[in-house]
Amino acid sequence: MTWRRRLAILGVIVIAALLAFLLRDVVNQLILVPIAYLLWLLDLVYLSMNQSVWWIAAVFVALVIIGQSLLPEIKPVRKVIPFSRRERGSVENLALLQMADRQSTG
């Protein structure tokens, strides 16, 4: 690495560290607290539901995974396109005419 690139990377790291230090309360209030609240709510939902519901869901997921692994993969049928010559453009036609003219005169 060149010294300019190292200096740029060092500058970015210093700016990121300063912003992280200055904005730690904002990050705490806007990111960490809502994530903790969401995890707490998910824990309440998990604890409030009957254990048999979770077992039924786990067995269903396992059966779906097993079923997908046992079924053969369904591949779409490839459409066979017959080979066809593409049409020539005006430049190609002109070149062929010139070649034919040269062969007939020469």
Residue 50 lies in a domain: yes
69 occurs within a structural domain: yes
In a domain, 84, yes or no: no
Assess contact for 88 and 96: CB atoms under 8 A.
Answer: yes
pLDDT (0 to 100) of residue 84? 65
Measure CA of the first residue to CA of the last residue in the chain; give whole Å: 64
Please give the tally of structural domains in the chain.
1
Residue 67 placed within a domain: yes
Tell me whether residue 12 is in a domain: yes
Residue 55: give the domain boundaries.
1-73
pLDDT tens digits, 61-74: 999 988 888 877 77
pLDDT band at 83 (very low <50, low <70, confident <90, very high): low
> Does residue 78 lie in a domain region?
no
- Look at residue 91 and tell me if it is in a domain: no
Count of helices and strands (H, E) across the chain: 5, 0
Please indicate, yes or no, if residue 34 is contained in any of the structural domains: yes
Distance, CA of 21 to CA of 101 (rounded, Å): 81
pLDDT band per the 50, 70, 90 thresholds, residue 13: very high
Least confident of 2-6, 47-51, 67-71: 67-71
pTM of this prediction? 0.43
